[in-house]
Structures are given as C-alpha cells and as structure tokens.
Structure 1
Amino acid sequence: MSLERIDIPLLKKISETAGAPGFEKKVRHLLIETLKDIVDEFYVDNMGNLITIKKSQTENAKKFMLAAHMDEIGFMVKHIDDNGYIRFQTLGGFDPKTLTSLRVKVHGTKDLLGVMGCKPIHSMSAAERTKVVTNEEYFIDCGLSKEEIEKHVKIGDSITRWQELDMVGDLINGKSLDDRVCVYALVEIMKALKEQDTPVDVYGVFTVQEEVGLRGAQVAGHGVSPDFGIALDVTVANDIPGLAPQDYVTSMGKGAGIKHFDGGTICDRRMVEHLENVAKNKEIPAQPEVLPFGGTDTANIQRMPKNGSIAGALSIPMRYLHQTTEMAHPTDVVAMIDLVVQAILQVEEGDWSY
C-alpha cells in the first residue's frame, strides 16, 4: 500500500540524475521544473541552494524550514595518465572496499562510462591480499586512450556512481538514495501543502555540498533564518546479521526515525516531542533514532539563524549507507512525508515554551 503512494518514475529520475558535491546543477534544474508551478516562490542563492516557498495566509507568519540535500558522494578528476587511466579525488566519505569494479560516469563535455579498477587478486602478494585497498590505489578505466578521453574530460570534472533504481523484493534499491529519497520526499511534501492554508511560511530547501561538511545548509540556514526547522536525511538501519539490537540505530519498515542525537546535533526537545505527539495522534509509523556518529543539515538549521531555530530531524532508515547500492522501505518514505505535513499543519498545537 505504501509503494502505491510513491511516484517511482520521479524517484528514479531524482536518484539517477548526477550531482556530486559542487556539481548539483542537473538535480537543481530537475527540481525547479518539477516544483515551479507548485510553490508560491523559489530562488537559488549564491551557494547553489534551491529555496522553494509555500506562503501562509497568516500575516507575519513564522518560518518553518525543511532541508534535504541534493548532492551525492562522488569524485573529481585529478589526473589522466599516459594510458588513459583517470585518478580521482573523493568528494564525500567512501568505504574503499565498495569501489571494486564499480561503474561510474565521468561528466565532461559528454558522459563517459567507466569502471573502478585496481590490482587483481591474482597479482597480489599474500600480504596484500589481507589488506583493504585504499582509495588512492583505485583508478578509472574508460576503455579509451588518453587522447580520446581528453577530447571530453579535463581536470576538475565530476564523476558519479552509475546504477539504475529498481525494486528488490519490497525495497527501493539504487544509488545515492542518500539523500535523493528525502529530496523526493520533500518534493511530495511541497505538493501536499500546495492547497493547504499553512500556519507558517514553509521553506522547502534543497541544499548543496552536505556530503563535504554541511556547507549549503550553513548558508541557507543563515539566509532563511527560520523559527522552526527539520532536516530530512537518511540514517543507518543496522537490522542485519552480525549486529546486536542495541546497535541497529533504526529498523526498516518501522517508520520515519525521529532523531534525538547525531554527531553534530542534540535535537531541540520541543521539536522532538512535537514530532512524537503528531506521530502518535495521527497514527503515523515512527521510531526513535540516536545516531552515535555522522552529522546532518540539522546542525546548521539549528545554529545559523540569528537567534537559532527550534530544530529537529526526521530520517529514513537505510541499509548499506554510502555503499554501492542503498536500500529504503516504502513505508518509511511515506511516513516521513505524512509526518512532516502534519507537523507543519499542527505547529500551533506544539509546546514551544522553554
């Protein structure tokens, strides 16, 4: 039933569109085309964040900022050797063991398909076989000579992973669902609010460069300067073999994670309790989330406004985070959309006192 509420073709397009940190242009254009007739206003700031706005009919309404980051972990071309092999700089955090034989696209004047290569096991010494290959040992093989590659590619061009989005059993499966599944959710939230008279001005912000230090949210948080804020991101779902329940963080299919803590933020208790109350009263699936490492745009939504904001976060549980293929449950995606919409519509019922 949850899957029936998800626009898979749109989610597929959002997931598969390339957008490494600093190279979010294609994703931004896709979102502008999708939302330009839905929202009341939109603009792009100097950092590249896309800010879409749903205006309240209430005079001097407070601002409620939602943020999902457009960028995906990727790479940048830093060298092309005499045999046409490309060396790269990582953009975001990679687990090196996930790079072996990974298909990528090198985005020059035209996209070139390539494969991540390294020394094969047949050529490794006994000692090398016991070690994890480092990022620096990988190269990209596009099957072309240096001369052919340089017709289209130069130093500084971006590189992204290539994989199509599909369903694996009951689960959504694809690349860069961190954070494209939440980008999709934010699009659906702005659509759902279109005909509503919201008690606040809603700022749906699609941020840049989250994967390299929450940079876009720093600028957007300061520029929008919201009273309330919720970051929409994914989180670890460690409900897999070999891990104890206390280390799961979240579990797939049990609803959106209401964040209490991550490596960059202690979420405002007022926002946490508001989200918990709305989830309970509206019977929306939700689960608590305490993430012992990593950070999200929540930190800058909370800190960058002049007087700070009452900020929290909602997370979609995800298996295989920052690996080749990421997985999400449709129930959790729908729960995020429903919980955010209701949290905004009922914001006046929250207890925002100190």
Structure 2
Amino acid sequence: MDKELFEKLVSTPGISGREERIRATVLEELKDLVDTVNVDELGNLVGVRNGIGPKVMLSAHMDSIGFLISHIDDKGFLRISPVGGFDARTLVMQRVVVLGQQDYVGLLAPATKPIHLLDAEESKRGTKLEDLFIDLMMPAEEVKENVSIGDPVSLLRSPLATDYAVSAPYLDDRLGVYVLLAALRAASSTSAQLCPVVSVQEEVGLRGATTSAFGLQPDVGIALDVTIAGDLPGADKTQQVSALGEGVAIGLMDSGSISDPRLVDRFKRVAQQHEINHQLEILPRGGTDAGGIQLSRAGVPVITISIPIRYVHTANEMALVSDIEASVDLIARFMEGAHDLELEW
C-alpha cells in the first residue's frame, strides 16, 4: 500500500460543496494516469483514458461530511450546520479545523454543564447536533475578524497507518479515490476505454456522479466506495453487511441501486480467476454514486465495489490493508479485461 498517497488523501480537507483543496490534490495524482482530464461545472474531475470497447465510468467521490459555520456569538463561539450525516454521540470533544482566513483548530463541545454539576436527569440526556459548538481558543474579536458564516469545518485527526490497518477521518470515500488511482497505475497497459471520475457532493445526494454521467454517457458505471463492517462486539452477524479481513465487497444492492447481475457475475469471475479475496454485500440503508449513474439519461448498468470499514462517519474510521489491496487488485484486473466486456441480455 502506498502510505504516502493514502495520508495525502485523508489529510486534505474537502467537505461537500467545498472540495477545492482535495480536488487539487487528486488532480495532481490523476493527470498522468489518463489521456485527458477536466474539471466540469459542478467541480467533478472527469478523466478519459482512450481505448476500445464499452465506455466504462469508474466513480469515487472526493467529498467528505463536515459542517458549515452558521452563527458566531458575542463570545466567539461558533454554531454549526451539518453537511452530510453524523451521529452526535461520536462528536463530543473532537478536534476540528475551521477554514477561515486561515486554518484554525478548535474543539467541538456540547452546550452542557460540566459533569460535576449535572443532576441525575441532566446526566441521562443525550447529545444532539444542535447542542454542539466550536471553541477556537481565541479572543472573540479575532474570531469575528477571521471566521465568517458559511466557512467550512472538517474533523481533525492525524491518520494512522500500519502494515495491518489504517484509521483516519474520511476513509469515506478517500479510500475509494485511493483504490481508483492505484488501480489505474496497476492497469497502465489496458486497452479498455476508461473514464475515471472523482466526483463531488456525493454525501448530500450523489450530485456529482449524476451530472458527470449525464455528460459522459457511459455504457457501464462502477462506483468505488466504502461499506459498513458490522463485525463488532454485540452485533447481529446476520446484519453485519461486511466484515474486515474478508476482502473486497462486491455490491449486490443498496437503497439507491441494484447492481446489474451481468456485472456482478463478471466481477465474481475476475475475483475467482485471480484468487482475490472477496465477499458479497447487501447494504440495507445508504447508497453510492451508482444510484446517480444508473438513472442517467436512458439508464446505465451499474455496480458498487466497496472497501469494508468500521466506525463509518466518525473521526476514526478503520480499514484493513489487505482489504484495500484486494480492492485495488480487483479493479485493476477488471480494467485489464474491460475492452471485451459484453452486456447483452
């Protein structure tokens, strides 16, 4: 695994709608792996590697969940509006970075009394998103001069990477971007017609994939994303979706798309032929870029290929290196044979 590329991707901020920095980072990595690449009107990176056979769109989203500053009070405390889905229980006393006139590190705190002063009823009350505020540890005057309503906020946590596992905020979906870039490198000699897209605004409604698919008019769409690994203490194994250590997840269905059975069969054959560790996945809630691609124009056959992660949508998402490498291997091997892909009913 390329730890340098991984750390670069997960350390660069880019919440939905404010992807400027991560787009610039990915563009530097993508431009030498394709024949052409452009930034479209919505901010997607749309690449083309010329070739033969069906036009294959592979989409991984660059945006992450985060917040926008919604209010600045007289003491310089910041209120926030979520961009994407959070569980407030995982956010208390996390560090964040506010992208104002410069980057400011702050503390995400709940509007509650210290534990020593809580009565019995107050101590039972859960935390809600609207309870949270940011303390920038600065005088109020400095906050008001340097931070504005609408400034983006990202969770701040140093990535961890060992030979066994990785952890960081925003593995969703910087791991998908990593897999796309690494697979393009590994399949450099393929003759297939590939259209790698690094999309925006997935976390708020699959917007980038929807518009880029409309422009590209692909014959096939593949979403590269993460999925839930529910292999945790106390979890119902019948509802775990996927498990760490069991390889790349070949998606069958989620709440936004049903994978084309011909593509499912193709990926299963590729995995079996190359002895790539894999598992099948059904995600009962949640979706990927495949849902936007599938409904483009007259319809597109799609599939989602995912990397299992634990603790999704938190500051400490976690994945196994072996599952990431299996994902890269599967996508690269698929790319190498995509020139002869036939999807006749």
The alignment's TM-score, normalised by the length of structure 1, stands at 0.94
Shift of residue 250, structure 1, vs aligned partner:
0.6
Residue 320 (1) aligns with residue 314 (2): no
1:162 alignment partner AA: L
Instruction: Report the equivalent of 2:85.
Output: 93
Q: Corresponding residue for 1:108? A: 100
Q: Give the Cα separation in 1 of the matches to 2:228 and 2:33.
A: 32
Secondary structure of the residue aligned to 2:203 is: helix
Instruction: Find out whether 1:284 has 2:279 as its counterpart.
Output: no
For the 8 Å contact 1:54–1:190, the answer to whether it is kept is no
Give 1:195-206 correspondences, 5 Å limit. Answer: 196-199=189-192, 201-206=193-198
After superposition, where does 1:82-161 map in structure 2 within 5 Å? 82-118=74-110, 119=112, 120-161=114-155
In structure 1, what is the equivalent of residue 9 of structure 2? 14
Correspondence list, 1:109-258, <5 A: 109-118=101-110, 119=112, 120-167=114-161, 170-194=164-188, 196-199=189-192, 201-258=193-250
2:42 is aligned with 1:47:
yes
Q: Please tell me the residue identity of whatever aligns with 1:333.
A: I
Measure the CA separation in 2 of the matches of 1:347 and 1:33.
25
Deviates more, 1:163-172 or 1:233-242: 163-172
Aligned pairs, how many?
Answer: 343
Q: Does 1:260 align with 2:275?
A: no
Which residue in the other structure is 1:344 paired with? Answer: 335
CA displacement at 1:350 relative to structure 2: 4.8
Deviation string for 1:144-188 (max 9, x for gaps)? Answer: 122101222111110000011113682101111110111111111
- Within the alignment, does 1:275 sit opposite 2:270 as a pair? no
**Which residue does 1:3 correspond to in 2?**
none
Counterpart Cα distance in 2 of 1:75 and 1:9: 27
Amino acid at match of 1:206: V
**d(CA) in 2 for partners of 1:155, 1:326:** 29
Q: TM-score, normalised by structure 2?
A: 0.96
Q: Percent identity?
A: 39
Alpha-carbon RMSD across the aligned residues, in angstroms, is 1.4
Contact 1:106–1:114 (CA under 8 A) maintained in structure 2: yes
Gaps of 5+ in 2: none
* Cα distance, 1:344 vs structure 2: 2.3
> For residues 263 and 125 of structure 1, what CA distance do their matches in structure 2 show?
42
Unaligned runs of 5+ in 1: 1-5
User: Aligned letter for 2:286?
Assistant: G
Change (3 A) 1:138 1:280: same
